[in-house]
A and B are shown apart, each in its own frame.
Chain A
Amino acid sequence: MAKHKRYFLDKPENVTTLWRIFVAVCAALLLVDLVHHRHVTHPWESLLGFYALFGFIGIVLLIMAAKQLRRLVARKENYYDDDDR
């Protein structure tokens, strides 16, 4: 492994920096809601940070639910092999 070239993302500190930039951008975007007035078709849309929160909470629930789904449906890779032959 020592011979391998070290790439940008191999260094944990670079990844941490990228993560911090990403969080900062998200925070800034949330602030945009304070100054930018949305013209909306549905009242839910006018809630402060609706899209941001919906995206964040939605995805976290999705992934957590999928983890539970895995306990129900995951099987060994050769599960069907005897039947398929």
Chain B
Amino acid sequence: MTTIASLPPFVLYFAAALPVALLRGWSRSLLLVLVPIAGGISLLYAEPGAYWHVSLMQYQLILYKVDKLALLFGYLFQLAAFIAVVFSLHVRATGEHVAGLLYVGSALGAVFAGDLITLFVFWELLAITSVFLVWARRTPRAIAAGLRYLIIQILSGVLLLAGAIVHVSQTGSIEFGYLSLGGLASWLIFLAFGIKCAFPLLHSWLVDAYPEATPTGTVFLATFTTKVAVYALARAFPGTELLIYIGAVMTCFPIFYAVIENDLRRVLAYSTINQLGFMVCGIGLGSALAINGAVAHAFNDVIFKGLLFMSMGAVLHVTGRIKASDLGGLYKTMPITTVLCIIGAASISAVPLFSAFVSKALILAAALEEGHPLVWLALLFASAGVLEHAGIKIPFFAFFAHDSGVRAREPPINMLMAMSLAAILCVFIGSYPWVLYDLLPHALAFTPFDSTHVIAQIQLLLFAGLGVFWLMRRGWYPAEIRAINLDADWSYRWLGPRVTHALTALIRPTDAAVRRSVRHRLQTFLDALFRHHGPQGVLARSWPTGSMVIWVAISLAVYLALYYL
């Protein structure tokens, strides 16, 4: 165990990928489950410090740097990997399991990276490994969405590399630590993190690709990429004021889209951006309370969002449907999945005794403490919005609402086990928050359940729920319709191709005219050449030697003429 503990955590996942690719059946399942367990135990032996220095040209890479922040994300990723692996055990396709392992390994590599070059390598590996989870769906739509996802993710990596190069040339250091925002290097890196963290207008890859992945692939995707970005922001840009406003916008704009979105996994994708907004806002606020809140919320989000994505993945797996307009009434035959989904919904809505209650409260309290009452109001509004789309819409339209006539059975046992584990964690962390909060970067005294906060939160949630059901009963609630909603991806899926076409159409006539005229002149020249040198040409009457004699005579004559002038 100590040998494993001294290795960087990604090594275990990368090493396990090959045997997983070769094995089949129960031996593969056993290995898949053992990897995150061994990884989790080995992290218990990890001591703060920097290990695994590797020389690359004149730079010292640090493959394994341990501190409290990295360690918390390390535990989280091992736990999330375990849940996701159990959830996907029934999947036969080997590629998905291999991609899943490599993807988790890349995320762990990024989190324990001590320098920017190592971070960049794992940053790009995250993109390359995860796209296979989208492509594994094998539909034309998934393949196209995966390609768009890959291009944008690679772009994020290229920006990170560019920023790192500028940073190194300016400071001479490749260390990955605090970077204050200002100057080209930090802005490039900030933008790279922003793409992966789904900042507004840079977010559409997430809502485009996640809902197109396989039912199990989305559970992996939802966890790692965005949380690595949150980790990177927390390490490099804590206390950056701009992040407060970016975060506040992220919490608010997706909830409007979530209300009218028909694909329930896409609703959860919008919800992911909303939850990331709380974390980004907390990182921007930067106080010990806010950072603790952001990190704790990242931890909780992985579990409850995972649970929600799993429950919708289970619905998709057993019914083949995922659109609100095609679902409803599933509680009749899927009571266990229904209950588990509701636990996830209660957790994300921050119901007291469920996991997000305390972590979200820390961020909201920090917003007021740091003197941002309007941001606080935005976050409060977004909290009510979460209840609408994730707390009510997801379970309501899938399991209740109008009866779709679908009578699906409960999903396979491994799916139920994974969901149950996540649900237990949601309730456990919600009820015993100090177990998690002792692991947070800053030591802070806090009272999780004071009466003011509990009552205020219950009032907020119940009255928001009242609003939703009141609108439903009056018939004013927007009906589920089969439609898609335009978002930022419209710019490169619709506008971009059309602008390119229009420009080509504009250039084409000029281009054709230029070509025509050049071709015409060339032809005239060739014709003239042919006239003089061709078989009937004046200059072809003699042999080339004869022709040469004529030219020599002419040039001598010219020379003579010039000489006498």
Contact = CB atoms under 8 A, between A and B. Distances in A.
B469 A19 contact: yes
A58 B461 CA distance: 11
Contacts of A9: 331, 400
Contacts of A69: 256-257, 260, 485
Interface stretch (B476-484, B502-510, B522-530, B555-563): B476-484
A70 interface: yes
A74 B485 contact: yes
Contact of A52 (B141, B463, B483): B463
Contacts of B497: 83
B384 A22 contact: no
B459 interface: yes
Given A41-B369, A56-B467, A59-B384, A25 B462 contact: yes
A22 B260 contact: no
Contacts of A38: 452, 455-456
A55 B463 CA distance: 5
A63 interface: yes
Most buried by B among A30, A52, A55, A60: A55
Interface stretch (B284-292, B304-312, B373-381): B373-381
A73 B255 contact: no
Contact of B493 (A26, A65, A84): A84
B493 A83 contact: yes
A41 B460 CA distance: 17
Contacts of B487: 73
A22 to B, nearest CB: 7
A40 B373 CA distance: 13
Contacts of B459: 29-30, 32-33, 49, 51-52, 55
Nearest to A38: B452
Interface in B138-153: 140-141, 144
Contacts of B457: 51
Interface string A7-39: 101100000000100110110011011001011
Most buried by A among B365, B376, B467: B467
Interface residues of A, number: 52
A62 interface: yes
A80 B256 contact: no
B373 A44 contact: yes
Contacts of A59: 384-385, 387-388, 463-464, 467-468
A52 to B, nearest CB: 4
Given A29-B459, A69-B260, A23 B484 contact: no
A36 B65 CA distance: 49
Most buried by B among A33, A49, A60, A76: A60
A81 B145 CA distance: 11
A46 B153 CA distance: 46
A44 B364 CA distance: 14
Nearest to A5: B332
A76 B483 contact: yes
B462 A26 contact: yes
A76 B169 CA distance: 50
A38 B322 CA distance: 43
Nearest to B451: A36
B486 interface: yes
Most buried by B among A41, A51, A53, A65: A51
B288 to A, nearest CB: 17
Interface in B336-355: none
Interface string B60-84: 0000000000000000000000000
B369 to A, nearest CB: 7
Contact of A62 (B384, B451, B485): B384
Given A29-B462, A42-B368, A60-B467, A36 B256 contact: no
A73 to B, nearest CB: 4
Contacts of B467: 55-60, 63
B466 A83 contact: no
B483 A29 contact: no
A62 to B, nearest CB: 6
A67 B141 contact: no
Most buried by A among B458, B459, B471: B459
B455 A36 contact: yes
Nearest to A78: B484
Contacts of A33: 459
18 contacts: A10-B403, A19-B469, A22-B466, A23-B466, A29-B458, A29-B462, A42-B373, A51-B457, A51-B459, A55-B460, A57-B467, A63-B259, A63-B388, A63-B477, A63-B478, A70-B478, A74-B483, A75-B484
Given A53-B463, A59-B464, A74-B483, 20 more contacts: A33-B459, A41-B368, A45-B456, A51-B457, A51-B463, A52-B460, A54-B384, A55-B463, A58-B385, A59-B384, A63-B467, A63-B471, A63-B477, A67-B259, A67-B260, A73-B487, A74-B485, A75-B486, A81-B141, A83-B493
- Closest CB pairs A-B (n = 6): A66-B259, A59-B467, A55-B463, A55-B464, A55-B460, A56-B463
